[in-house]
Amino acid sequence: MKQIEITTYVNNTLQEVDDILKRQGFKVIRKSKIKDIYKTLKYNELNKNNILNILSESVLIRYLKVNDKDEYKKLTYKNKIYDNDIVISEEKINVTIDDINKMNKLLELIGLKTIVNVNYDVIVYSNDDIEFCFQSVGNLGLLLEYENKNDYDGYTNEEILSEKYKMLKEIQKYGLNISNDIDVKKAFELIKHKFLSIDKEKI
DSSP three-state, residue 190: helix
At 83 the pLDDT is: 84
- Name the pTM for this structure: 0.91
Question: Residue 85 burial by CB count (10 A; 0-12/13-18/19+): exposed, middle or buried?
Answer: exposed
Third-level CATH fold of 4-202: Hypothetical Protein Pfu-838710-001 (2.40.320)
- For the chain, domain boundaries: 4-202
At 201 the pLDDT is: 54
pLDDT in tens, 1-26: 788 999 999 999 999 999 999 999 99
Provide the percentage of residues in the chain whose pLDDT is more than 70.
97
**Non-local CB neighbours of 158 within 8 Å, separated by 6+ positions:** none
Which residues of the chain, if any, have pLDDT below 50?
A: 200, 203
Rounded to an integer, what is the distance from CA 200 to the centroid of its chain? 26
What is the Cα–Cα distance from 52 to 61, expressed in whole angstroms? 18
- Using only C-alpha atoms, the chain has a radius of gyration, in whole angstroms, of 18
Report how many helices (DSSP H) and strands (DSSP E) the chain contains, helices first: 5, 8
Q: Give, as one character, the DSSP assignment of residue 43.
A: G
At 203 the pLDDT is: 41
pLDDT in tens, 181-198: 999 999 999 999 988 776
